[in-house]
Each structure stands twice: as structure tokens, then as C-alpha cells.
Amino acid sequence: MSNTPTVIKPVAPPQVIEGAFTEDQHQRMLNVVRENGPWSLILAQHFKSPEEVIATTSGAVPEGFTPTWDMFLSPVFRGYFAKASTVLHPDIEDCFFNKKFLDLVRGYWGADYATPENMLFNIQGPCQGGGSPHLDATRYRGISMHNSPIWLMNIMTKTGLFEDWRAKKAQVITWYYKGKIGGGFTYWPDGPLEQPKQIKAPMWSRAVVVENEMMFHTAETCGPAAMRRPQGLAINSLMSPDPTAPGGWQITTDGKVVQQIPEDEFRFLIHWGADIYMDYNELKRALDHTDDLTHDRVFDMIIADLRARGVTFEVPSDPLTDQKFIGLLIGVYDAGQPAIFPPEPEELAA
């Protein structure tokens, strides 16, 4: 009952490029991050419960076991440069409306059209990687991050029921990292149960063109082991520049500094995403909203499929937030956690 009918793999293998942004563009984006924080955890921004995290990553919760935030806390923080094709900071407009990136993603898909859709960043210091390979939020016509939780979109992907409505997406993901331990990108291009691959550091303006909605991926462990889980990290922790150390950063919880991060251990990821349309007819169908999904239709299709599988369950009054129902969907549709991981990066000798 746990096998998914969908093969979770991207339209094409990731393509590595060097020199994704100019150094001037990099500095302007970094200045936006430094001047507009503090920034909250990815978990805090996108999830209302630990069960939703599980639905977005992979794996199932044993019966009778209640997951907690501590199981998933990771010191990775997020902000946005652009949303809904709109730049939030005009001084980096050229970074978002990026012809080079548009050419790359059109070529990656072999498509006629592409539109820049969003641009976000992740910032972190030393961090354990590999523990939660995940899919990025998979958008469907009528169902997106603007009206739906991430867990729902990713469960929709895992059901295999909604392929006719799935929006085509592509990303250019760029890294800046000076650290000497790890810091690369781990991904499963042939599915979560197959061998992973890695793009290894050095990661300075190195980028990958990819479809992350259909490929499990995660950051490689980075930084000294003793710094990877700050004591006092909580769901409401924040990250901002360290006023006592030029180029450094700090993590705070309820106003208390729980970790200082030197500049050389700072990992900066820039995630540029585009909507892809293979031809004019596909573009027109999306713009005209002639074949959009609604939440009611999504859950009607999922409930019909569960019944066809012979699953016994009670239809919830609010399936978007019912934790028992979310757990049921995980158990039925999740293909399982990637089982094969590359070796952890080694600490350097003193």
C-alpha cells in the first residue's frame, strides 16, 4: 500500500554551470540579505506541524508515535528576493529577470516559453545534511503555495493522480560557500530508492539547472561537527548579521545569541525558479484557467482513490489540517525515505 504509482525523477539530469552570477550581482544580493533581516527558519515559514514536514519529505510515522519539532529542527533560514514574478528589491531586478537563466531552463525542457516566477535564498552556518531529502513544492493549475500548504502539493505528486494538471517548473540554484568541510548538493536523479549523486564544493557561483519538484535532494553536511546543531535552536530562532564580527552571522532565540557563525562557514544558496510552457497551447490553458483544480476536486479524487484501494478511513471535516488524515495519506502514498546516502564529509586534521 506504500508504493507510489509515480516515478519521482526530473525531466532531465541536473546541468552544472559555473559563474552563474557576476560578483557585483552576488554582492548586491548579499547586501539585501544583510540589510533586511532577521530571517526565520524554513520550517517555521512553511509548516504548521511536524506531520506536515513528514508529508513533504518522506517516510511514515509509526502508529501511536507523535512527531515533534525537535526531530526536524535544522539551522537553515529563508527569505525571498521575488514572488509571483515580482521583484521585492528593485536593486537586484537584473538578477531575477535573467535572460541567461531563461535560456538555460528553456533548453533544459526543450520548451518554447519560460517565465521567472520566484527567487528565494537559504542562509546557514554549519549544519547536518542528508537527513531529510525532500521535493520542492510541486505546483498544479489552481493549486499553488498561494492557496495551499506544501505538504498537499507534494502528496499530490506522490499519488500520481494529478499529472495532467502539474505545472512544469525549472530552477537555477546557485551556491556561495567558502567552508572546507562538505557544503555540496546531494540528489537522487533516478528516484529515491536509487543511487544518489553529488555536486561537491568548492561552491562559489556554481549552479545547477534542475527540476527539483520531481527529484529528491538535500544539502550535504557542512562545517565543523561541533557547530552543526546550535544549543538553544528552536522553531522561532532567527538569523541575522553579527554586529560584533564583520562578515559574520548569528542565530538568536528569543533575543539570546545561541550561535555565532564566522564568514568562512556561511553558506548562501540562491534559488531562482521559472514556469515552463512547452508551446503556446499549454501557455494559453494556464493563463485562461480553463482547467484548474480546486481543493474540493483534489480531495474528491484522493478519497475516491483511497476507497478504490480498499483503505478504511473517516472523511475529515477539514482535510487540509486534519493530522490523522495527513498521516493516512503519508502511509498510503509515500514511496519511502531514500535509503542510499553518500559518505559524510570528513573533518580536517587539526
Q: In this predicted model, what pLDDT tens digit does every residue of 178-191 receive, in sequence order?
A: 999 999 999 999 98
Mean pLDDT for the stretch of residues 327-347:
84
> Does some domain include residue 342?
no
pLDDT at 1: 38
**Which residues in 194-226 are b (16+ Cβ under 10 Å) and which e?**
eebeebebebbbbbbbbbbbbbbbbbbbbbeee
Mean pLDDT for the stretch of residues 62-83:
76
Name the pLDDT band for 117 (thresholds 50, 70, 90). very high
> Does some domain include residue 263?
yes
> Does some domain include residue 6?
no
CATH number at residue 118: 2.60.120.620
Give the total number of structural domains in the chain: 1
| Mean pLDDT taken over the chain | 89
Decide which of 300 and 201 is more confident: 300
pLDDT at 276: 97
pLDDT(33) > 60 = yes
> Does some domain include residue 30?
yes
> Does some domain include residue 338?
no
pLDDT at 347: 74
> Does some domain include residue 350?
no
> Does some domain include residue 179?
yes
Mean pLDDT for the stretch of residues 128-146:
84
> Does some domain include residue 347?
no
Domain containing 149: what range?
15-333
The x, y and z cell numbers of residue 202, run together, are: 568548492
Cβ atoms < 10 Å from Cβ of 290:
9
Query: Is residue 337 within 8 Å of residue 58, measured between CB atoms?
Result: yes
Lowest model confidence (mean pLDDT) among 10-14, 43-47, 80-84, 199-203: 43-47
pLDDT(21) > 50 = yes
pLDDT tens sequence across 164-183: 999 999 999 999 999 999 99
pLDDT at 249: 98
pTM score = 0.84
Lowest model confidence (mean pLDDT) among 184-188, 267-271, 292-296, 336-340: 336-340
pLDDT at 348: 60
| Residues 6 or more apart whose Cβ sits within 8 Å of residue 244 | 260
Mean pLDDT for the stretch of residues 323-331:
90
Residue with cell 557576476: 22
pLDDT tens sequence across 79-97: 999 999 999 999 999 999 9
